[in-house]
Structures are given as C-alpha cells and as structure tokens.
Amino acid sequence: MSGPVVLGIESSCDETGAGIVRDGELLAHVVASSMDEHARFGGVVPEIAARAHLHAFNPVVRQALDQAGLRLNQIDAVAVTTGPGLSGALQVGLAGAKTLAYAAGVPLYGVHHLAGHVAADTLEHGPLPDPCVVLIVSGGHTSLLLVRDLVREPILHLGDTLDDAAGECFDKVARILGLPYPGGPAIDRAARDGDPKAVAFPRPLTRPGDDPYAFSFSGLKTAAARWAEKYRQRGEEPPVADGAAALQEAVADVLTRKALAACRAYDVKTLIVVGGVAANSRVRALAERRCASAGIELRVPPLTLCTDNGAMIAAVGDLLVRSGAEPAPLNVSVDPSAPLEYASLTPLPAPPVAAP
C-alpha cells in the first residue's frame, strides 16, 4: 500500500516551486524563476518577486500535477514554506497553499525553508544518517548544523555566518568584477580560466582562537574589492578570471575546512552539503577530496535540487506526515526571519493591539 502524496510549495525568494513526493520518492519537480527580471537591478526586488509568484503559482502547480499524473483530489497533504524569506513572496505561496489544501480537503503543513534544503538530499540519497553534519550554503545563509531526526528532534546550530553569507559574497564580488547577477554561477564560470593561487585572499575565522564553526565573508568581500581597486587606480582592469578563481578557492577552503572539523569533533561519518552554493564546482570538488581523505561520506543533492524548489518542501512535508506530526492551524502565518529550530514552522499572526 502506497503512502500519502504530498504537494510542496516554495516561494521564499525568486523561485516559484511545486514538487510532489510520496514515501520519499520524487514524483514531480517544477520551478519557475523570476531571476531574469531581477538581474538588471543586481539583486532580488521583493515587489517584483511577489508579483512573479502570483503569475507563476497556478501554472507551476498544474504542471507538477500533470508531471505526476495526478489530480488535486489525489493529494493527501500540502506543505508550504512559511519562513524565512521575503514577506510578500512567502505570503503569496502560503495563500495559494491554503487555497489548495482547502479545495482538496487535506491538512496543511508549514515548513522551514532551510529544513527543506536539508531534506532535498533525501530525494536522491534516501533517509538522513543519524547523526549527520549539514553545511547549508546559499545566497542568504551559511550554517553548520548537527542533525539527528530532522522532523522529530531540534536541529543543533554549530555555527552560522556573522555577516555576509557565502552566496552573498559571490554576488557582491561579481558586481565589483563586472560579472552578471547572480554572482555565484558567474564567478564559477569565470574561475575556470583563472589561477586560484594568483591572489592571496584571506581565510576568515580560521586562526587559532577563532570560533571553529562560525563564518564571516564580509572581510573577504572587502579584500576582493580592494584588490580590484588597486588595478583600477592604475587605469587597468583587474584580471577577472584570477580574481574569481582565488575568491572561489578561499570560500571553498573555509567552508570545507570548518565542515570537516565539525565532523571530527562530533564523531560524525556523513557530511551533507546543500543550498545554492552547493552547486559551485570548486566547493563540491574540494569537499569530495577532503571527505575522501578523512574517511567521511559526502552527500550533495543533484544541481536541480540545490537551489530553491518545491520538491524539497514536499520532502519535509512527506516526513512530517509519516511521523504523525500535527498539521498547521488554519491561521498559520509567515515568519520572514524565522530561526531554524525545527523542520515544522507554524507561526501565528500577532494579536491585534488594543486601541488606547
């Protein structure tokens, strides 16, 4: 007998995603991105993102159902990102998910966006080992987590970024180097022709006495800006390929060095790397090499599941349903700055303030 079918909705930033999962198996995975609409502004514009979600929501859901060969009345639960993310974007997704759950007469589950990234790996590699260390690297987040049972136990934060996330550093330096947005893929492409040893960029928070699991990429961004400025002050353009390769090497070095240190300290044999920056070729290659040397299993989702998508939210919903978790109340709201404590996220609207 097959398990429940879960439809997942993701709308936290500039991707509108719908995915369908049953018993850990991915049945459908559809994403519509508004990235091109933001590129000319050099970053995501919240109002444009929310409007794009409105236009894309119904077509994406319809396409996911068609891909799975299902009708809405064959869905057993709906899961939706309720935070963190852009407030307007999250609200579009939640409103749509509530409508679908009501129309289908099924429970709704609120999901933490970052837990979705963790669960994305299960769609390719099966259940998460207990315990495992998870490195989340994206445009807005860089975190090291100790994960046991993703949906039943609290998630332990070993360390987080103190300022810029790794993906944010890529975006900002790409702009300095004259590369297009989004910066991560542009840096990765440019780095192919560069020398990673050409520039001695710093490795933030890796000296003795520093927090072993915290991250900081603001100073690295500033170092890259000053390096480029020296060339321009002489009337020259900086060697972009070398700068991109050296920056990418510094980021990958810090990320993997700290992740492996956490695995050793907590006697964990599996490292899982997720999030948009997990698609970076140097991060993946260096993680593979260092994990192999340390005897640690490395798990990284396929590239299509690294960036934001509805399949990862459906994966969390699937785990929540099968664990017997309580669904979200009807008045569930969004929390744009929600900390990652549990996979389930069901914030409620603030009570009205009494008139004086």
Helix or strand or coil: residue 341?
Answer: coil
Rounded to whole angstroms, the Cα distance separating 50 from 52 reads 5
Rounded to whole angstroms, the Cα distance separating 6 from 48 reads 28
What is the Cβ-side half-sphere exposure of residue 4, based on CA atoms within 13 angstroms? 20
| Dihedral over Cα of 151, 153, 159, 163: its sign | positive
pLDDT at position 46: 80
Radius of gyration of the chain (CA): 21
pLDDT at position 139: 82
Please, are residues 323 and 16 in contact by the beta-carbon 8 Å criterion? no
Rounded to whole angstroms, the Cα distance separating 196 from 103 reads 54
pLDDT at position 172: 95
3-state secondary structure 236-257: CCCCHHHHHHHHHHHHHHHHHH
Percent over 90 (pLDDT), the chain: 90
pLDDT digits (tens, 9 = 90+) for 26-69: 999 999 987 777 677 777 788 888 999 999 999 999 999 999 99
Confidence check: pLDDT of 193 > 60: yes
Enter the pTM of the model: 0.94
Distances (CA, A) of 94 to 44, 79, 91: 20, 9, 5
On average, the pLDDT of the chain sits at 95
Confidence check: pLDDT of 80 > 90: yes
pLDDT at position 39: 73
Helix (H) or strand (E) holding 81: strand 77-83
Q: Nearest-CA neighbor of 76 among 147, 167, 5, 155?
A: 5
Rounded to whole angstroms, the Cα distance separating 266 from 213 reads 12
pLDDT digits (tens, 9 = 90+) for 273-294: 999 999 999 999 999 999 999 9
Q: How far is CA 352 from the centre of its chain?
A: 33
pLDDT at position 23: 97
Q: How far is CA 259 from the centre of its chain?
A: 17
Confidence check: pLDDT of 1 > 60: no
Rounded to whole angstroms, the Cα distance separating 195 from 152 reads 46
Please, are residues 109 and 77 in contact by the beta-carbon 8 Å criterion? yes
* DSSP calls for 209-227: TS-TT-B--HHHHHHHHHH
* DSSP calls for 91-114: HHHHHHHHHHHHHHT--EEEEEHH
